[in-house]
Every structure is written in C-alpha cells, then in structure tokens.
C-alpha cells in the first residue's frame, strides 16, 4: 500500500535494503518523525516502565491521559466533544499484551533523516499544530530531509487531527494528489 510505506518514511528497515521502498507516484508522511527529541524519548521510556510494572490504571484515568496526549486544546475545551472522546476512550481501553510491549520499543526511532534523503517520489508531510506525540517541528524536519517534499501544518488539532478536522485534512490531501508537491 503506497501511503502506508510512506508513513514509515518510504525507506526499508535497516539491514533489509538501502533503497527507498516502492511508493507509487506519490506518498505522504503524516505524523512522522525522523528522530526522537528528549520529551518524546522520556514519554516512551515512561510508557515502557508503566507497562513493565504491570500496574493496571483505572479506565477513567487512562481515558483522561489519552485525551491529553491525542486531542487539541480546542477539542479539550469543548465539553461536549471531550465527553464524547472520554466515553470512547473508556469504552475502548488499550490492550496490554506482548504485542503492545513490542510496539513500545518502536516508539524511539533511530536517526532516519539521512535515509529520507534517498526518497525520490513526491511526498507531503502533514503536521498537526497541537500534536504532543509527533510535534510539527519534527514533521517539518522530515519534510526538509526529503528532496522536494511539501509540508502542511493543520491548526486546531492534535495527534488525532484526522478525526478532529477531517474536512481540512482531506482537503490538504486532495490538493496534494491533484496538484503535486506545491503546498509549502
């Protein structure tokens, strides 16, 4: 699937092949980073420690944490919207098996920016202005590393920007696929 490949930077995993992964005529790298900064590294370490401690957080507390990590202040300040999100998060708690632990080890990527310079297809990197998990400055670094990549930051949304501002996200994607990497 071309888009999924580009979400992973359009570059194969180390040790498999140094060539860029096939991505088709265009791709996007949304919510992606080429390195981990100090805050995201601390968060990943804290999440691994929590998982390894086998402490089970109350569902309501975990829902609140997910809201703070994934939603924009605009959504958090809207009582109706935030209550809907909290209800959803409580209704769908995160699993805590060995697969989750393996995913936690993948949260701190090694420096990938140099590898992204080998990507040679048009790319759009989307950043969400209020994203605390994958902040826009790290997405901008990815766009700057990919030759000719376009970068678009969408205001008023956090990590779940697709769900908070779906019309704006879809507009940006459709513009990119129609016009190519002209968005800056």
| pLDDT reading at 182 higher than 80 | no
The residue with greater pLDDT, 100 or 14, is: 100
Classify residue 124 by its DSSP letter: E
Per-residue pLDDT tens digits for 30-59: 446 777 888 888 888 888 898 899 888 899
Per-residue pLDDT tens digits for 54-96: 888 899 999 999 999 999 999 999 999 999 999 999 998 777 7
Q: Would you state the pLDDT for residue 37?
A: 81
Domain assignments of the chain as residue spans, ordered by start: 2-35+111-179, 39-105
Per-residue pLDDT tens digits for 121-168: 999 999 999 999 999 999 999 999 999 999 999 999 999 999 999 999
Q: pTM (2 decimals)?
A: 0.75
Per CATH, the architecture of 2-35+111-179 is what?
3-Layer(aba) Sandwich (3.40)
Distances from the Cα of 99 to the Cα of 42, 77, 90, 103, 167, angstroms: 21, 34, 21, 6, 33
16 CB-near residues (< 8 Å, 6+ apart): none
> Of 137, 151, 162, 4, whose CA–CA distance to 71 is shortest?
162
Q: Would you state the pLDDT for residue 19?
A: 41
Q: Would you state the pLDDT for residue 109?
A: 65
């Amino acid at each position: 699937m071309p888009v999924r490949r580009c979400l992973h930077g359009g570059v194969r995993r180390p040790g498999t092949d140094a060539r860029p992964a096939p991505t088709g005529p265009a791709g996007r790298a949304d919510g992606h980073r080429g390195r981990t900064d100090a805050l995201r590294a601390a968060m990943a370490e804290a999440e691994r420690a929590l998982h390894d401690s086998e402490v089970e957080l109350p569902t309501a507390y975990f829902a609140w944490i997910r809201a703070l990590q994934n939603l924009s202040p605009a959504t958090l300040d809207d009582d109706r919207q935030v209550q809907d999100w909290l209800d959803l998060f409580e209704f769908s708690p995160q699993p805590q098996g060995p697969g989750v632990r393996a995913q936690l080890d993948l949260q701190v990527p090694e420096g990938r920016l140099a590898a992204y310079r080998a990507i040679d297809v048009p790319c759009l990197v989307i950043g969400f202005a209020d994203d605390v998990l994958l902040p826009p400055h790290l997405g901008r670094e990815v766009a700057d590393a990919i030759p000719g990549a376009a970068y678009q930051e969408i205001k008023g949304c956090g990590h779940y920007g697709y769900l908070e501002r779906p019309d704006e996200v879809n507009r940006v994607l459709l513009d990119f696929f129609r016009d190519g990497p002209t968005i800056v």
